[in-house]
Structure 1
Amino acid sequence: MHASPLLQTFNTGPALLILLWVIFWAVVGGVVTPRVYRRKDLDASSATLYGAVAGAGTGPILPVYLWVKTPELNWRWIVVPSALTLAMLIWAFAVYDPNNLCVNNGGYVISQISNGLLVGVLYGLIALGLTLIFSILGIVSFAHGQFYMIGGYVAFFVVDDVFGLNLNPLLGLLAAGLVTMAIGIVFERLLLRPMHLGQIERPSEYAILVTFGLAFFLTYTVQATIGTNPRKLTPYFPIDTVTIGPVSMPPSRVIGAAIGLVVLAILYWFLNYTWRGKALRAVSQDKQAAAVVGINPLTMNTLAFGMGAMLAGIAGAALVQVFTWAPNVGDVASARSFVVIVLGGMGSLIGAMVGGLVIGVVEALGVGCFPDVSRALAYQQVFGLVIFAIVLLLKPTGLFGREL
């Protein structure tokens, strides 16, 4: 039960003052600190981030110290201010809506965070595929979400009894990965390779157009052949709801996250301990140097695009048992994966994973803690976009991106 309108109005005043205090000093710290550092010919690449966090957490105290002493900036300068900022925002929320479940039920908050992390693993897996493509080919695939969508449908038709197959879920995951990888390889060989052979005059625009075209083609082909009726699989394995203390996790999300973690472990092993994985990393760092030592960049381009599509397809196969599936889920996945890779830092595999976890947790907490429960789900993507905008304002290269 929420507070009465009169009490809600009374509580809004202190909460608004706390919020305005945090925003005001964050803006002051973020604007003034880089100017001070530039004036003294010091490295100001991260000064906006450090100044804003210092101002949000301590008001004028720490920013003034930074302006006067101009110490070398590192992560130690934002640990305590970040904690103080979070504490003030939580306090403001508790004052505004004291009857919210997120205020008076710690177990509920932990459950939301846990569920966000479970889904965030798969968000990160989708984004890893897109990051891999960008790192090797230097393009952003606008059809990435459609591979995710196709992977879910392939798993659905292999595992479900629509065609009388009713096969093992692991075969559904394998089929989803193989089908999407095959589509990705064929597409790269036919339409992207001419771009890398120098046969296209404006390669950047060409890459955008052909991947957009592939996205439309795949979406409407699936829509025409399968239809638009929503579909959803039951959990792959018959396990009960996982309960650890006050934390309750749906079996479908636990299974999906477990699949994602296994795939991530295999990907880590492949990239770090196999010749082809090391070749991919070499091409991502310097194509010309890689070619000198006998690595064929064109082959690596094909492998990277195929693997990126495969990762998206497996993520779709893992999530088709969590969410309702329709041809338009690819559009949502594309938008979310773009947010994740920019948030984590373009070209950073670690950043893609961390970005996925951050977006997963933020969306789960946003939906679970939103005061108006009836409208919370409609704003799910907005919560992640707010964090995305804040991070880009403070650190335009993303969390793990580097200045070029």
Structure 2
Amino acid sequence: MFELELLVNGIITGVFYALMAIGLSMIFGILKIVNFAHGEYYMVGAYAYTLFAAYSGLSPWLALPVAVVAGAVIAVIMERLLMRPLYQGYTSWRMMKDEYAIIVTFGVSLFLMNLATQVIGPEAHQGPELLPRTRYFIGPILMGGHRLAAFGVAAAVLTLVLLFIRYTPQGQQIQAVAQNRFGASLAGINTARVSQWVFALSGGLAALAGGLLSPMYLAHAMVGMMPSTKSYVIVVLGGMGSVAGSIIGGLLLGVLEAFGAVYISYQYQDVFGFILLILVLMFRPWGLFGERAREL
């Protein structure tokens, strides 16, 4: 019975991890870069959810779309002003894509963290619960109302994202650009617009995760650091650019942390993912669901 509770808690945590990681993986699939500002989308969502709910007096459920829009807007502005030269600028810029992306995204991360500290302040804010002061039995397992509601929202959104990518024309364009950007442009696909879609989706999903988790992990300028670090681990575990791999990787990490915290030590909970990452890099460096690079 205790193991079942650990498994359920691990799966719930894993869904939150997947919600955070899936956008990061999609950006890599489209642009082949790692976005070091991804954690700040989470931070923006946590602040937007917390402050909007606090100052508007409206239901926390109405604050979730505000958080999603805030994260998406920040991501789109970043893509339009700073990232587009990677694939539409001069040839010399495109040749320096990796170095440019590292410097720019890391700089945006520092800028947003310091901006939040200066404008909002260094203190932490706790977001309101979606279902406050409620407890529910899921079979034999007692679960808090907010955690259950947040899990339901996250799972539903992940399902919608998978359906969007798989069955809609926009999702098929995203898949085409991820497979071959140049070939997709020859086929008439507006690759710049697709990149903007992916950034908006990435920012919105990470911000949604920040809003959902703010009642438990608060909202402050540094709150996105650990979620983003775990997102990098998950993306590598699942395979760079693999959406399904990010979901499976998030679930694996959540379950591993849940069992490891009890049977090994809670103090090392954040270390287990890195141990798993090292093992994967040793024996399957292209990830669990990634494709092995072919040498020509």
User: If the TM-score is normalised by the length of the shorter chain, which range does it land in?
Assistant: over 0.9
Matched residue, 1:388:
277
Whether the aligned pair in 1 keeps the contact of 2:237 and 2:249 (CA below 8 Å) is yes
Rounded Cα–Cα distance in structure 2 between residues aligned with 1:238 and 1:334: 27
| Paired residue secondary structure (2:127) | coil
| Distance in 1 between residues matched to 2:20 and 2:169, nearest whole Å | 24
2:155 pairs with 245, 248, 261, which one? Answer: 261
Equivalences for residues 30-69 of structure 1 within 5 A: none
Tell me if 1:188 matches 2:79.
yes
1:378 matches 2:267: yes
1:302 aligned to 2:188?
no
Deviation digits for residues 268-292 of structure 1 (CA, Å, limit 9, x no counterpart): 2221222212111111111222112
Q: Does 1:400 align with 2:289?
A: yes
CA contact (8 A) 2:37 2:106 kept: yes
1:217 and 2:108 are equivalent in the alignment: no
Amino acid of the residue matched to residue 168 of structure 1?
S
1:346 matched to 2:240? The reply is yes
After superposition, the C-alpha distances for 1:30-54 in whole angstroms (9 at most, x for unaligned) are xxxxxxxxxxxxxxxxxxxxxxxxx
- State whether residues 115 and 253 of structure 1, in contact with CA within 8 Å, keep that contact through their aligned partners in structure 2: no
Counterpart among 290, 306, 315 of residue 209 in structure 2: 315
Work out the CA distance in 2 between the residues paired with 1:210 and 1:110.
44
CA RMSD of aligned residues (A): 1.6
* Deviation (angstroms), 1:251: 2.4
Change (3 A) 1:324 1:377: farther
1:158-212, CA deviations, whole angstroms, 9 ceiling, x for partnerless residues?
222xx2x122223211111111111111111111111212321511100100000
**Which residue number in structure 2 is paired with residue 324 of structure 1?**
218
- Runs (4+) of structure 1 moved beyond 6 Å? none
Check the 8 A contact 1:111/1:249 in 2, yes or no.
Answer: no
Alpha-carbon distance, 1:237 to partner: 1.8
Give the Cα separation in 2 of the matches to 1:368 and 1:253.
20
Matched, 1:156 2:47: no
Larger relative contact order, structure 1 or 2 (CA cutoff 8 Å, min sep 6): 2
Match of 1:178 in 2: 69
Name the TM-score, length of structure 1 as normaliser.
0.69
Runs of at least 5 residues in structure 1 that lack an aligned partner in the other structure? 1-106, 371-375
Aligned-residue offset at 1:377? 3.7
Separation in 2 of the partners of 1:247 and 1:394?
A: 37
- C-alpha contact (below 8 Å) 1:108/1:246 kept by paired residues: no
Cα separation, 2, equivalents of 1:316 and 1:126:
9
Secondary structure of 1:117's aligned partner: helix
1:168 has 2:62 as partner: no
Structure 1 position 247, deviation (Å): 2.2
Report the more deviating stretch, 258-267 or 320-329: 320-329
For 1:66, the equivalent position in structure 2 comes to none
**Any idea what the Cα deviations from partners look like across 1:19-40, whole Å, max 9, x if unmatched?**
xxxxxxxxxxxxxxxxxxxxxx
TM-score (norm 2): 0.93
Describe the SS at the equivalent of 2:271: helix
Q: In the aligned structure 1, how far is the partner of 2:208 from the partner of 2:167? A: 22
Q: How does 1:268-283 map to 2 (within 5 A)?
A: 268-283=162-177
Query: Which amino acid counterpart does residue 365 of structure 1 have in structure 2?
Result: F
Q: Helix, strand or coil for the counterpart of 1:399?
A: coil
Report the Cα offset of residue 317 of structure 1.
1.0
Equivalent of residue 198 in structure 1, options 89, 95, 101: 89
Q: Higher mean Cα deviation, 248-257 or 346-355?
A: 248-257
CA distance in 2, matches of 1:222, 1:378: 29
Deviation sequence 1:68-115 (CA, Å, 0-9, x none): xxxxxxxxxxxxxxxxxxxxxxxxxxxxxxxxxxxxxxx222212211
Q: Name which of 250, 256, 267 aligns with 1:362.
A: 256
Deviates further, 244-253 or 333-342: 244-253
* Counterpart code for 2:243: L
| Aligned match of 1:145 | 39
Percent identical among aligned pairs is: 37
Structure 1 stretch displaced more, 175-184 or 260-269: 260-269
The offset of 1:239, in angstroms, is 6.4
User: What amino acid maps onto 2:283 in structure 1?
Assistant: L
Note the C-alpha offset of 1:250.
2.6
Partner of 1:10: none
